[in-house]
Structure 1
Amino acid sequence: MKVVKKIAIVIIILFFLMVWSGIIRNVSLGERSLGPFTNPIKSFSEVLSNIKKTYTYIFRAPDYYIKTKETDLLDVNNLNYNLYGLYSYRQGDAFKIELKNFRDNTIKHEWDVPVNRLSEAYKVDGNDRLYPATLMHNFDIIISCNERPGLLRMDSNSKEKWFNNDFIFHHAMNLDSIGNMWIPAVKHDNGIIVPMKVSVEEQITNYRDDLIVKVDANSGKTLYSKSITEIFLENSLDHLINKSPYVNDPFHLNDIEPVLESSEFFNEGDLFLSFRSNSIIIQFRPSTNKVIKVIEGPFTFQHDVDIISPNSIGILNNNTIVTQIIYNEIEFKQANQSVKRKINHSNVLIYNFEEDTYSPLYEEQFKKHHIFTGAEGLYRILPNGDLFFEEQGSGILWVVNHSGVVLKTTIKSDIEGYHYLPNWTTTYLDDELKSLK
C-alpha cells in the first residue's frame, strides 16, 4: 500500500506541475484568461529570471556590452575623408546616441533617451536597445526601441517631438522619395504581440505576422499598414510561408527599401522587402498590391537591401546556416568522403536584374578577416567605392576596399575590456551633414 500511495503522490505532484507550467506558459505568451491573477502569477514566475539578471549585472557586463577580443583591441584607421557614424548604445539607465567622425574619433553631437521616458509606454527590459537612428533636418533624429512599442522623434536637444505607439516597430527604417518613413512592425496589445494563427492537422499555432508600415516623418502619424500574410496570400505566395523553418516566425521582415526613382526594372514607390526566416527578397508595389518579383539566390538570413543602380540591388548576405538540427537517433555508416562546409564570413552580393547574376563585393577582404555576423548587420557602398560594414554580432565596424582594410574600430565602452554593441550604424559624409543642418 505504501508503494501505491507514493505513486499516487508522484502522479498528483506531476499533474499540478503540468497545470502550473501550462498557466506560466499562457501568462508568458500574453494570455489574460486568469483575470486579476494574471499579473501576480507573471511576477512570481519571473523571480528566478530576475535573480539571474541581478547576478549578471554584478559579476559581468550586461548583454549590451561585448567582450573585446585581444585581436580587436587596436583600431585600424586609414581614412583620408570624414566618415560620420550615427549609432546608439545602452549605458545603465539611459540610451546614448552619438554622431561620431570615425576619421578623428570626435563626437559631433549627442542625444539622450532616459529609460523612464520609454517606460511610460511599456516596461523596459534590462537589455533593451534602440535601433536604428535616422538623422533628420536640424539634427532631429527618429529612433525605435527594438521589439517594443513606439517610434520616437526628438530634436537636437533630445526634446520629444512625437511618439507613435501604434505598433511594435523593429529593424531598419528608410525614407521614401517624398519623405515618409517605412519600417517593419507588429501589432500589439499593451506591448504584447497580437499573433495570427495557423492550423496544421487540427493543431493551432500562434505565429508572428509582420507588417509594412508608412509613417509621416513630420507628424508621426501612421499613413499605411499592410499585413505580410495578406500580401503573400493575395499574390498566391503562401507556399513561401510554408517553406520557412520557423512556424512561429515565418517572415522576420528586417528591411523595407523604397525605390526613389523609376527605371526599367522598378517603379518609384516600389518596396524591396527582406525576409530573414525564408531567405527571400520580394519586390512589392503598394499602389497595385502586387508582388513584382521574388528573389531567391545564394544568400541566407540576409539583411539590409539597398538599391545600387537602375538595374541592381545590394544584399547583405549573412551567410548563416538557417537551422541546426541534431539527429541523435540516426545511425550513419563511416563516411569515406569529406566536404568542407565551413561558413566563416558574410558578404555583400550585388544582384543584377538584367543579367540575373550575383557577384560578391570585396569578397577577399571578408574571407581574409573572417568578417561574419550571424544576424542583423548593415552596409553602405560609399561614393568612392569603399564599403562600410557593421559586423553586428561582434560589434566591429569596418571600411574595406580592394586594397584592404581602411577602418576597423569598435565603440569603446565605460567598462574595461568591453565595447558597446553598436545598433545599426547609419553613415554620413560631409555634404550629407551640411544638407541636414
Structure 2
Amino acid sequence: MLTNTNHTQNQQRPRDLYKELSQRKMVKINSDKLSLAGFLTACTIIVFFGGFLVRDFKLFPYNYYAKAMQGYKKLRNQVSGKLPKQLTRLDKPFPEISNDNFQPYEGLNLVTKLGYKNNTRYAAAEIVDSQSNIIHEWDINWFKMWPNPDHVAKELLPKEEPGAQIHGAVVMENGDLVFNFEYFGLIRINLEGQVVWRLPYLTHHSLHLHDDGNLWVSGRIYHTENTPELPHLTPPFYEDTILEVSPEGKILREWSVPKILRKNGYTGLLHPKAIGNFQLKLNRDRSKDILHLNDVEPFSLKMQEGIFERGDVVVSVRNINTVFVFNTDTEKIKTLITGKFINQHDPDFVDGNTISVFDNNQGNDLDPDNFKSRIWLISLKDNTSKIFFEGSLDKPFYTNIMGKNQWLPNGNLLITESRSGRGFEINQQGDIVWQYINYVDQEKGIVANISEVTRLPIEYTKLFGSEKESKKN
C-alpha cells in the first residue's frame, strides 16, 4: 500500500508542478496586462491634461498646433463644401421691397464687413449710396497698419489675413475713419488710408462719436495676477473698461465696469458660477470673459432730458444679459435691466425716458425655422416695455451674435443683421424701406458677416460726393 501510494504521489507531482507553473504564468500575464493598462491610462491622463495646459496657456507646441489646425480646417472646408464661420448660406432669398413709395432716410452709409475672395478673407470699410454703389473704400490691413504691436501678447496676435476684423467704426467730420481692430486697438486713418494715430489699448465691439467730438469706446484689460479691488475674480481674466477718447487719440477718462457694478451693490452679477467651481477654473476661455462688454453710448447733448440726463451712459454687458445706465460723475447706476433679453447688443437712448435694446434672443425659440431677434423699447418713466420689431416668416430677422441698430431723424430704424450679412431700414410701421446685402456668391445665396451699417449725416454727401467714379458692389 505504501509503495502504491508513493507511486501515485510521484505520478501526481508533475501534474501539480505544471498546474503551479501555469498559475504563476497566468498571474504574471495578468500583472503585465494590469501594468500596461495602468501605463496607458496614465499616459491618457497626462496627454489629456497636458492638452489643456498647452491650449489654455499657449505653451509649446501651441503655435504649431494652431497653424496645423488652420490648414486642416481650410482643407476640410474645401473637401466637404462646408463654409467658413464668417460665411452663411441663406435658406432662401430675403424678400424684395414691395412698395416703391417707401422712402429711406437720405444719406450715405458706412459699411464695415468681411469679404471673401479666392478662399481668402479681407476686412472692408466702404461708403455706399442707397443703390449699394461703392462711393469710397479704405484698404484695411492689420499687418500693414499696425507694425510692432507690443501692447498685445505675442500668443494673441493675428496669424493670417486680414489680421483682425473691424468692429466699431465712425467717420469724422473731415472724412477720416476711426475704428477698432477687434480686441487689438483703436486707429484713425485719413481718406487715403494713411495712419493718423493709433491707441494701443485692447478696444473692441463699439465706437460712438459724441456730440462734443469725443469718442466713446469699449475696452478691456487683461489681468494675469490678483487684483485687490476685484478680489473675487481669479486670474487670468479680462476687466471690461469704458473709455472716453479725444479726437487726437488721447484717453480722457476711464471707468471699470466690474468696479461700477460692485460699487452699486451688484457684485452678484460678477459670479456667473459658484466660486471654486472646477469647471469654471478648467475652462479658462469662459472664466476670462465674465461680462463681455459690447456697447457704451453717452446721452446726446441734443436730446431733451428726462430721467436720463447729460453725463449718463448706457452700457450693455452680454454674458450676464444686462443693460444699465450710470452717471459718469457719480458712478451711480440709475437703472439696471437684466434677464429680459438674451445676449443683447447696442442699447440706445431714444429720448430722455426711453431706451431701445437689440435683443439677439439667442436660443430662446426651440423651433430652428423660427428664430427671431427683436428690438425692445423700454420706458423708465412709466415702467413699461414693448417689442418695436421682431423677425417673422414674412420679415425674417435673426442674428445669434453681433448686431446694431440706429435711430434715424425721421423715426426710421436702421438694423444690422450681422450673421445674415444684411443691413435694412424699417419705418414706424415695420415696413422694410431699404436693404443692403453683403453677397459673396448671390447665385448660391452665400453672404459674409457685416459688423455694422451706419447712415451718415446728410452733410457727408458733399464730402464723399467728390469721388469721380463709383464701383458696383
Does the pair score TM above 0.5?
Answer: yes
Q: Report how many residues are paired.
A: 404
Q: Indicate the residue corresponding to 1:430 in structure 2.
A: 458
Q: Indicate the residue corresponding to 1:112 in structure 2.
A: 139
Q: Indicate the residue corresponding to 2:69 in structure 1.
A: 49
Once the two structures are TM-superposed, the CA of residue 314 in structure 1 deviates from its matched residue by 1.2
Alignment of 1:326-345 (within 5 A): 344-345=371-372
1:186 aligns with one of 214, 217, 220: 220
> Is 2:329 the counterpart of 1:303?
no
1:84 aligns with one of 96, 103, 108: 108
- Three-state SS of the structure 2 residue aligned to 1:423 is strand
The residue type paired with residue 430 of structure 1 is I
Once the two structures are TM-superposed, the CA of residue 14 in structure 1 deviates from its matched residue by 3.3
Specify every segment of 5 or more residues in structure 1 that has no aligned partner in the other structure, as ranges.
Answer: 32-37, 325-339
Identity %: 20
> Which one has a bigger Cα radius of gyration?
2
1:378 aligns with one of 396, 400, 404: 404
Question: Aligned in 2, Cα 1:114/1:352: closer, same or farther, shift over 3 Å?
Answer: same
Cα distance in 2 for residues equivalent to 1:322 and 1:241: 23
Specify every segment of 5 or more residues in structure 2 that has no aligned partner in the other structure, as ranges.
Answer: 1-27, 150-156, 275-285, 466-473
Cα distance in 1 for residues equivalent to 2:458 and 2:273: 42
Q: Indicate the residue corresponding to 1:95 in structure 2.
A: 123
Q: Indicate the residue corresponding to 2:330 in structure 1.
A: 288
Cα distance in 2 for residues equivalent to 1:241 and 1:10: 44
Once the two structures are TM-superposed, the CA of residue 109 in structure 1 deviates from its matched residue by 0.7
Once the two structures are TM-superposed, the CA of residue 433 in structure 1 deviates from its matched residue by 4.4
Once the two structures are TM-superposed, the CA of residue 253 in structure 1 deviates from its matched residue by 1.1
- Three-state SS of the structure 2 residue aligned to 1:390 is strand
Cα distance in 2 for residues equivalent to 1:16 and 1:290: 54
The residue type paired with residue 264 of structure 2 is N
Cα distance in 2 for residues equivalent to 1:44 and 1:297: 41
The residue type paired with residue 151 of structure 1 is L
> Is 2:239 the counterpart of 1:209?
yes
Once the two structures are TM-superposed, the CA of residue 386 in structure 1 deviates from its matched residue by 2.2
- Three-state SS of the structure 1 residue aligned to 2:361 is coil
The residue type paired with residue 346 of structure 1 is S
The 8 Å contact of residues 344 and 367 in structure 1, kept in 2 or not, is answered as no
Q: Indicate the residue corresponding to 2:378 in structure 1.
A: 351
Q: Indicate the residue corresponding to 2:267 in structure 1.
A: 238
Q: Indicate the residue corresponding to 2:22 in structure 1.
A: none
Cα distance in 2 for residues equivalent to 1:17 and 1:185: 40
The residue type paired with residue 317 of structure 1 is D
Q: Indicate the residue corresponding to 1:67 in structure 2.
A: 89
2:172 aligns with one of 126, 132, 136: 136
The 8 Å contact of residues 271 and 283 in structure 1, kept in 2 or not, is answered as yes
1:52-100 Cα shifts (integer Å, max 9, x gaps): 2331564455333332443239677856354432122244364221111
Once the two structures are TM-superposed, the CA of residue 341 in structure 1 deviates from its matched residue by 12
1:252-285 Cα shifts (integer Å, max 9, x gaps): 1111011123723123122111111221111112
Q: Indicate the residue corresponding to 2:9 in structure 1.
A: none
Question: Aligned in 2, Cα 1:369/1:93: closer, same or farther, shift over 3 Å?
Answer: closer
- Three-state SS of the structure 1 residue aligned to 2:126 is strand
The residue type paired with residue 275 of structure 1 is V
Alignment of 1:251-330 (within 5 A): 251-261=291-301, 263-296=305-338, 298-321=340-363
The 8 Å contact of residues 421 and 449 in structure 2, kept in 1 or not, is answered as yes
The 8 Å contact of residues 122 and 161 in structure 2, kept in 1 or not, is answered as no
TM-score (norm 2): 0.75
Alignment of 1:137-156 (within 5 A): 137-147=173-183, 149-156=184-191
1:163 aligns with one of 182, 190, 198: 198
RMSD of the TM alignment (CA)?
3.4
Question: Aligned in 2, Cα 1:412/1:195: closer, same or farther, shift over 3 Å?
Answer: farther
Cα distance in 2 for residues equivalent to 1:27 and 1:119: 28
1:413-435 Cα shifts (integer Å, max 9, x gaps): 36863222111222224245448
Q: Which has the higher helix share?
A: 2
Once the two structures are TM-superposed, the CA of residue 313 in structure 1 deviates from its matched residue by 1.3
The 8 Å contact of residues 183 and 212 in structure 1, kept in 2 or not, is answered as yes
- Three-state SS of the structure 1 residue aligned to 2:30 is helix
Alignment of 1:343-422 (within 5 A): 344-363=371-390, 366=392, 368-401=394-427, 402=429, 404-413=431-440, 417=444, 418-422=446-450
Question: Aligned in 2, Cα 1:47/1:99: closer, same or farther, shift over 3 Å?
Answer: closer
Cα distance in 1 for residues equivalent to 2:451 and 2:67: 29
- Three-state SS of the structure 1 residue aligned to 2:319 is coil
Once the two structures are TM-superposed, the CA of residue 11 in structure 1 deviates from its matched residue by 2.6
> Is 2:64 the counterpart of 1:29?
no
- Three-state SS of the structure 2 residue aligned to 1:304 is strand
- Three-state SS of the structure 2 residue aligned to 1:273 is strand
- Three-state SS of the structure 2 residue aligned to 1:208 is strand
Cα distance in 1 for residues equivalent to 2:364 and 2:389: 24
Cα distance in 2 for residues equivalent to 1:30 and 1:204: 15
The residue type paired with residue 85 of structure 1 is N
TM-score (norm 1): 0.81
The residue type paired with residue 114 of structure 1 is N
1:271-320 Cα shifts (integer Å, max 9, x gaps): 11111122111111221222222123632222111111122111112222
